[in-house]
């Protein structure tokens, strides 16, 4: 629908997570709790700058670096190190991976969607039910001619993965050259990941049906505390689908949207990369040229400071070792508050089985609370979380977990 009078444009609602944070900030209740915002917080629920990043900041300050434009494709040394982290140096050195800097994971997803819609022209994109809400908006805006379809993911009965439903839907409905979006680790919002055996079955279906995979990887290292473990699915798909022996029977390509915002604590720097994997022996210059053209039209060139910080960390043996300890610290704290919350709920005798809180992984827990119960938590107890029941565990600490557990018991 076109509007000739701009005053007739309807007012659109804020994204829920941002509206929730705004409401939390306006709340004057002294014991309010923010379990909605997807950012890491320390043991006092305060922003935490990674020690490895603090050292990198000092290094850059001492170097008195300039602030010139980057090339359109981004910071080359940063991209090399980011690719090594994601794929491992042995895989990353292959010449069928094209990398370009993006505005965090969101920008990488947006570039992938536009590139697919313009050049690969899938009929459908399959998105997990549920998913990070921006996946839908990105494809709605960037690729309106591609039909968005859901594949089952969360089983509310078991509060686990509906793997059979997921695989069945892809087998039944996905057509050659369709896109399927997969979360590499720490699925948002459920915190539920496939097992390695399940990943292998998904990869087999992708290969047989020649589907285009877009991996969204936002939590490498932060999910489990081990960067290599969190990248297992991506590396397996690469090896299975894009070695010379398998490429003739596999898909046209695979994308990995890599965010360095969360696992480096660089939320405001918006640092990320998009990696396009093509079958071996095919020329890649054309694909890179089209990606560069899209970046030029959107942002002209990407941001510099965050890319320098990540490169400084990953390029220094001491700093990268400290970074691995930093992500372990974050992962360990999240695992700790998972155990605390489960223990408090069980001690209080809260209705139901709360084992899923510890079984899930990453920053989020899909609690199983209904939207009505979430609303009660907000209105009666000043506890803020998404209406679908997703809880950001970084908002919990030893000082408020008992209060949150009692509030949950109260609304059941």
Residue 130 phi/psi, 5-degree rounding, is -90, 180
Dist. CA 71–CA 82, nearest whole Å:
17
401 CB-side CA count, 13 A = 22
Catalytic residue among 193, 216, 230, 326: 216
Q: Which residue has the tokens 């408020």?
A: 400
155 given a catalytic annotation: no
Count each helix (H run) and each strand (E run) in the chain, helices first.
16, 13
Dist. CA 28–CA 42, nearest whole Å:
22
132 given a catalytic annotation: yes
DSSP letters for 186-249 = S-TTT-----HHHHHHHHHHHHHHTPEEEEEE--TTTTTS-HHHHTHHHHHHHHHHSSTTTGGG
262 given a catalytic annotation: yes
Catalytic residue among 48, 81, 132, 397: 132
Give Cα 298 distance to the centre of its chain: 22
- Give the chain's largest Cα–Cα span: 62
Catalytic residue among 262, 326, 342, 354: 262
CA distances from 286 to 121, 140, 289, 398 (A): 16, 26, 5, 54
Q: What angle do CA 326, 332, 338 make, to 5 degrees?
A: 145
Give Cα 18 distance to the centre of its chain: 17
Whether the upstream peptide bond of residue 308 has omega within 30° of 0, thus cis, is no
Q: Which helix (H) or strand (E) holds 212?
A: strand 212-217
Q: For residue 134, what are the β-bridge partners?
A: none
- Residues 112 and 255: beta-carbon distance below 8 Å: yes
Residue 56 phi/psi, 5-degree rounding, is -65, -40
- Residues 237 and 251: beta-carbon distance below 8 Å: no
Secondary structure class of 97 (helix, strand, coil): strand
Which residues are part of the catalytic machinery? 132, 216, 262
């Amino acid at each position: 629908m076109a509007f000739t009078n701009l005053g007739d444009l309807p007012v659109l609602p804020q994204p829920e997570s941002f509206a929730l944070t705004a409401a939390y900030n306006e709340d004057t209740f002294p014991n309010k709790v923010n379990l909605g915002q997807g950012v890491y917080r320390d043991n006092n629920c305060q922003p935490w700058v990674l020690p490895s990043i603090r050292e990198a900041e000092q290094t850059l300050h001492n170097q008195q670096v300039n602030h010139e434009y980057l090339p359109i494709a981004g910071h080359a040394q940063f991209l090399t190190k980011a690719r090594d982290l994601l794929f491992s140096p042995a895989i990353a050195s292959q010449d069928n991976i094209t990398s370009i800097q993006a505005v965090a994971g969101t920008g990488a997803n947006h570039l992938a969607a536009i590139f697919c819609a313009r050049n690969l022209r899938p009929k459908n994109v399959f998105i997990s039910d549920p998913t990070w809400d921006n996946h839908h908006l990105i494809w709605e805006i960037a690729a309106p001619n591609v039909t968005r379809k859901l594949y089952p993911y969360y089983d509310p009965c078991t509060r686990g993965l509906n793997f059979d439903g997921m695989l069945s839907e892809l087998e039944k409905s996905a057509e050659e050259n369709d896109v399927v979006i997969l979360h590499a680790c720490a699925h948002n919002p459920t915190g539920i990941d496939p097992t390695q055996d399940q990943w292998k079955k998904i990869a087999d279906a992708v290969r047989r049906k020649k589907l285009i995979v877009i991996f969204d990887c936002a939590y490498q290292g932060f999910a489990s505390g081990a960067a290599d473990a969190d990248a297992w699915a991506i590396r397996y798909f690469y090896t299975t689908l894009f070695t010379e022996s398998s490429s003739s029977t596999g898909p046209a390509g695979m994308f990995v949207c890599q965010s360095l915002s969360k696992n480096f604590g660089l939320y405001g720097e918006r640092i990320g990369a998009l990696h396009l994997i093509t079958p071996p022996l095919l020329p890649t210059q054309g694909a890179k040229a089209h990606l560069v053209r899209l970046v030029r039209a959107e942002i002209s060139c990407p941001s510099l400071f965050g890319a320098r910080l990540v490169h400084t960390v990953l390029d220094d043996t001491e700093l990268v070792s400290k970074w691995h300890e930093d992500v372990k610290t974050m992962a360990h704290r999240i695992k700790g508050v998972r155990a605390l919350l489960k223990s408090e709920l069980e001690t209080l005798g809260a209705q139901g089985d709360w084992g899923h809180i510890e079984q899930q992984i990453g920053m989020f827990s899909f609690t199983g609370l209904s939207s009505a119960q979430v609303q009660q938590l907000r209105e009666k107890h000043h506890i803020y979380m998404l209406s679908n029941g997703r809880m950001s565990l970084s908002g919990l600490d030893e000082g408020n977990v008992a209060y949150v557990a009692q509030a949950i018991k109260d609304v059941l």
